[in-house]
Amino acid sequence: MKKFAKNILIYLVIFAVVLTVAVVYKGGVGTENKTVQFSTMAQYLDAGKVTSVNITDTKITGKIGDHKYITAYAPNIVELQWISDKYIHKGMLDNKLTYGTDKPSSGSTVLSLLPTIIMVIALGFLFYLMMNQGGNGKAFQFGKSKAKLYKGDGKKITFADVAGLKEEKEELAEVVDFLKDPRKYKEVGARIPKGMLLVGPPGTGKTYVSRATAGEAGVPFFTISGSDFVEMFVGVGASRVRDLFDQAKKSAPCIVFIDEIDAVGRKRGAGLGGGNDEREQTLNQLLVEMDGFGENSGIIILAATNRPDVLDPALLRPGRFDRQIVIGIPDVKGREEIIKVHSKDKPLADEVSPEIIARRTPGFTPADLENLLNEAALITARRNGTSIRMAEIEEATTKVIAGPAKKSRVISEAERKLTAYHEAGHAVVMRSTPGSDPVHQVTIIPRGQAGGFTMWLPTEDRTFDTKGNMQNTIMHMLGGRVAEALTLDDISTGASNDIQRATEIARDMVTKYGFSDNIGPVNYSDSDEVFLGKDFSTKKNFSDGVASKIDEEVKNIMVAGYDGAAKILKENMDKLETIAQALLRVETLDGEQFEALYTGAIDAEGLEKQVHEKEEELKKANAKEAEEFEKIRKEEEEKLAADLARYDTDYMDEDGNPKSEEEQPESEESKDDTDPKKE
């Protein structure tokens, strides 16, 4: 704030100086000067309206009133002599006119250039201020590191604040123990890792756990992004790396955290046209600096990336980044712990259980879970609720996965019918296939770019997938297209995404996982290299004949999946019809409702009646909860108003001024001190 006020003051001073010079240069404030023709000047002199005249070269300036002047220029010296003899000399003899002239001055040229000089000085000063922003009083701070010293914003983060990641925290605990007591490691000749690379998908908590490491150790924590090293100026990145490590050495023991290190640590010389010289220069400097400090110097380098495959091998060797700590997607137990952490300040209803939420959110990262609970809280606040119920959790889960529901979209009846049979086909095939995951939700309400969707949830976390499960997944995806063909005698473009995903699975089965009996257990998959042109000049690692066989095998897998889905739906046409009609009536089915329809425990009409009854009960419950919320809010407002009124009466007089101490009521503590019963 002080720096901002200082800059504003400087700008105001510059503006005032320029304005003053301009005013002086123009002849002062309130002065009116009008340029007229030479003949007009002669008329003014002849009429005696000019009281004083000033002649400089061929310029004639006459005063015609208070702060009023006229200026004319004589065509040549002859006319100037003429007007002097005829009017000016005569007026001087009659004492009606005063005559003056400016003496020759060597500074006239400087005065004419004064505005230009002022402008150049002002621009130079502004350029200096721009280059000095954030430079600690020094200009041209391009080469200074942009690393920030993390102070935790008044809140110290430790391992206790990190849910899950038990093994990962144990790895990092060694670093913490070394920073606290390095002597015991030196005595046994142990070398603590110089650097530790945190690897994992986005949102898994890599940055958070690194801050917890610094908080646990109680040492300075420098944080910088990989992109902060790279600048448009050549050599800036390497200079910033040097400055970063200089700062770290002065603050040792400390932790240096480089987020998204793949921005500066990519493989050198990769890509079409070679590498980026500036980025490679920065990487080279980073490699040199990591080799430049001692093994037990008290500086630990932590880095995070979600693309370890693109990093340069020289960066990953022992002595630089000795360890790679994988921070993956949490399992069901880890998700439960994370949900407990993020729900501490949220009023959950009695029906809501972190265990249930954890089971229903496979594949969710910690960031996804935090976002889910926040969305549920927003939905609860939208209905003026006081506690987050399971209905809000379910809506938030669906919203995070598929996007917000678009109930206002106008959809024709033909499209609704097509979508209903399409999604019913997915659900029936999934339910009728042995070993498939249970159906969690079926809806024909558009969300995102999808006109409807069928959601299933795994019963347990899986690390690997099987051939049979992948074949079943292809059948599930093709179930919608098959249902359209069987019930509507036509097919639509709505299955394009299903076919694309199913084809990708089939191709991976053949080329990557070796699931084809005809092709054999050979990998024919394309390279996953991210650099453009890395394999530009290389040939594919299989012949045209093999490529033809691969295409044939992919087609066979897709046809087998289509035929399997068709067989299931033909055997369960009644169930397909029942579920489609139910979707047309209520639009959304949860897992229990779908199971009741599939098993015949209820029909579409009965389900519609049941859903309407639940909706009415929910409306009444929401209205009651909103009424209670409004009641509590009014009570708080009335209490606040009463407290303010009491304060005004006890401590303020009629004019709104504070009362003296003698006029103010006696406090409760003072009453207790003077109570005779307590003596």
Backbone phi, psi, residue 39, to 5°: -65, -35
Would you call 640 exposed, middle or buried from its count of C-beta atoms within 10 A (0-12, 13-18, 19+)? exposed
Count how many Cα atoms sit within 13 Å of the Cα of residue 577 in the half-sphere of its side chain: 8
What does the alpha-carbon distance between residue 374 and residue 368 come to, in Å, rounded to a whole number? 10
Catalytic residue list contains 625: no
Would you state the structure tokens that stand for residue 416, as one six-digit string?
A: 């609704």
Provide the b/e sequence for 73-101 (b: ≥16 CB within 10 Å). Answer: ebeeeebbeebbeebbeebeeeeebeeee
Checking phi first, is residue 526 left (phi over 0); if not, alpha (psi -120 to 50) or beta? beta
The string of DSSP codes covering 557-606 is HHHHHHHHHHHHHHHTHHHHHHHHHHHHHHSEEEHHHHHHHHHTSS-HHH
Q: Which amino acid is at 556?
A: N
Would you state the structure tokens that stand for residue 203, as one six-digit string?
A: 């949102």
Catalytic position from the list 260, 278, 336, 423? 423
Q: How far, rounded to the nearest angstrom, does the alpha carbon of residue 244 sit from its chain's CA centroid?
A: 25
Q: Where are the beta strands (DSSP E) in 397-509?
A: 439-443, 453-456
What does the alpha-carbon distance between residue 173 and residue 157 come to, in Å, rounded to a whole number? 14
The structure tokens 């150790």 sit at 217
The residues near 197 (Cβ < 8 Å, ≥ 6 apart) are 261, 303, 304, 305, 308, 316, 321, 323, 324, 325
Residues assigned a catalytic role: 423
